[in-house]
Structure 1
Amino acid sequence: MIKKLHQMGVKSGHMYSAGLASIALSFGTWLMSKNAEQGAGLDRADRWGIFIGEWAPTFFALGVALRMEETHRDLEEPDMGVFDGAESTRSRTHAGV
């Protein structure tokens, strides 16, 4: 799934942005529900905020997975020369990848 998202052009930054937007939307829906539906009580506002707030960890996790996919793809460059390939292997070894 992550590879397919990467091939479709979805970047890790998009997912991080979606996670931050989810946090803001969570707060906004909580505040709006609290003020607009005063008869429903604070419980309903809390449920709305929590429901949308649960999306953020998913977006952040997808962002991390896409970042790993981007890094993995950047390390695999098929058109590298002999010297560049040896240098790349040595760099990956030292980087712990």
Structure 2
Amino acid sequence: MLRKLHEMGIRSEHAYIAGFASIGLSVASWMVSNRKERAGIDRADRWGIFVGEWAPTFFALGNGLRSYELAEEHEQTRIPQQASHEDHHERAGV
């Protein structure tokens, strides 16, 4: 899934931005619901919590994408002799 997201052009920075934006959106949705709806603070709390649950998901995706990006950078910077030496050890189970 991370590879697919990366191929679609989504980077870790995008997920982190979405995480921070969802925190702000959580506060905004709570305030709007509290002021505009007659259902009371319970409904506003539910809206705030619902939107607030998105942030950890975005941050987790950001961390996963960052790990994928670092691994990809590491693969691109390996020198050929190092790559064949490491591949030999991996195949040998060392």
Same-fold status (TM-score > 0.5):
yes
- Identity percentage over the alignment? 55
By how many angstroms is 1:8 displaced? 1.3
For structure 2, the residue ranges without an aligned partner over 5 or more in a row are: 87-94
The residue number in structure 1 matching 2:25 is: 25
The residue number in structure 2 matching 1:12 is: 12
List structure 1 runs of 4+ shifted beyond 4 angstroms. Answer: none
For structure 1, the residue ranges without an aligned partner over 5 or more in a row are: 90-97
- Between stretches 1-10 and 20-29, larger displacement belongs to 1-10
By how many angstroms is 1:58 displaced? 0.2
- Alpha-carbon deviations, 1:50-74, whole Å to 9, x = none? 0000000000000000000000000
For 1:65, the aligned partner's letter is G
Q: 1:66 to 1:50 in 2, by over 3 A?
A: same
Structure number having the greater helix percentage: 2
Between the aligned partners of 2:73 and 2:49, the Cα distance in structure 1 is: 37
Between the aligned partners of 1:59 and 1:12, the Cα distance in structure 2 is: 9
Instruction: Count residues in correspondence.
Output: 84
TM-score scaled to structure 1, two decimals?
0.79
For 2:63, the aligned partner's letter is V
